[in-house]
Amino acid sequence: MIATKGYAAQNATTDPALWSFEHREPGPNDILIDIHFCGICHSDIHQARNEWGNALYPMVPGHEIVGTVARVGSAVTKFKVGDKAGVGCMVDSCRVCPSCKAGEEQYCDKGATVWTYNSKTDAGLTFGGYSDKIVLDESFALHIPDNLNLAATAPLLCAGITTYSPLRHFGAGEGKRIGIVGLGGLGHMALKFSHAFGAHTVQFTTSASKIEDAKKLGADEVILTKEAGWDANLGRTFDFVLDCVSAPHDITPYLGLLKRDAVYCSVGIPETPIQVAAFAVAMGRKHVTGSAIGGIKETQEMLDFCGKHNIVSDIEMTTFDKLSEAWVRVVKADVKYRFVLDTKSL
């Protein structure tokens, strides 16, 4: 077994603290990654505090992981020692169902997706990237383009693919008018991708202080939604709206922006159910949907796209001794735009 140290939540009411645990020895198809950086995702907080009702303790959060390969199993072909590697939200699936065979492992039809942390396996619980090491099958590890800043690449493994996937799936690109709701960890990545795809991109935000940031990040227009009548004259003018807000909010005004047959997609995953007025979707045959990360193949595609276009997350570096403070700021949306933990601080 491989001795590992990290930060673990022991229950729903206390913040993660230093904890020692073990990973398995790498098998023939496994790689051992020395973790250098791990992004802080709002879902880490949701799960550690059992806000989604599925928490397993002790829990070592973290699924935006980057580092270098330290060991490889005898049958490994994708990686060699010294390679930069990343780990996102999942480390295994059934691999044989239609969804897995289609490269959509996150939607495994057998419900057998093994999440990077907070999953129960025959070998025990999975532990994530708030730690110094991780062992996983090479099939679920990602190559990191050499030209990308490693720390700023970490959030691409969740915030990046979570926004890239629906934008690609629903056809964001030249000639399309795309709305991005919320300018936070997810929203700023969505804005960068939509702009890079060539779409006319409109950023919606409640924060006047973020207007200039949005323009710098690639927004063609910025709409401040705290102002009364903000949606006047915008009805039925959008091909797609991607909602990146994790707090409960009324989506009805955004449905009014959609063209006939257009799509509103939620990736923020609010804690409370989304309320949809029947007439808001019936009049215009509009679609309300969601999206969850992306498969391994698409995540690698996203990373390669980022390498080609030099796209990374805007980050604030932090250390483990300041984790509780960072979590408070994440909940307050007081970070531009993603915290990344430096594992050297362990």
The beta-strand segments (E) located in the chain are 2-8, 17-23, 30-39, 65-72, 84-87, 90-92, 114-115, 120-121, 124-125, 133-137, 142-143, 177-181, 200-205, 221-224, 238-243, 258-266, 287-290, 315-318, 338-342
Residues, the chain, total?
346
Buried b or exposed e, range 88-109, using 16+ CB within 10 angstroms: bbbbbbbeebebbeeebbbbbe
Largest CA distance in the chain: 63
Query: What is the DSSP code (8-state) at residue 63?
Result: -
Rg for the chain, CA atoms, rounded? 20
All domains of the chain in start order, with CATH = 2-157+313-345 (3.90.180.10), 160-290 (3.40.50.720)
**How far is residue 249's CA from residue 270's CA, in Å, rounded to a whole number?**
8
Per-residue pLDDT tens digits of the chain, which is 346 residues long: 999 999 999 999 998 999 999 999 999 999 999 999 999 999 999 999 998 899 999 999 999 999 999 999 999 999 999 999 999 999 999 999 999 999 999 999 999 999 999 999 999 999 999 999 999 999 999 999 999 999 999 999 999 999 999 999 999 999 999 999 999 999 999 999 999 999 999 999 999 999 999 999 999 999 999 988 999 999 999 999 999 998 889 999 999 999 999 999 999 988 788 999 999 999 999 999 999 999 999 999 999 999 999 999 999 999 999 999 999 999 998 999 999 999 999 9
Place of tokens 């913040």: 15
Q: Let me know: does 19 contact 120? Beta carbons within 8 Å.
A: no
Predicted TM-score (pTM) of this structure? 0.95
How many helices (H) and strands (E) would you count in the chain? Answer: 10, 19
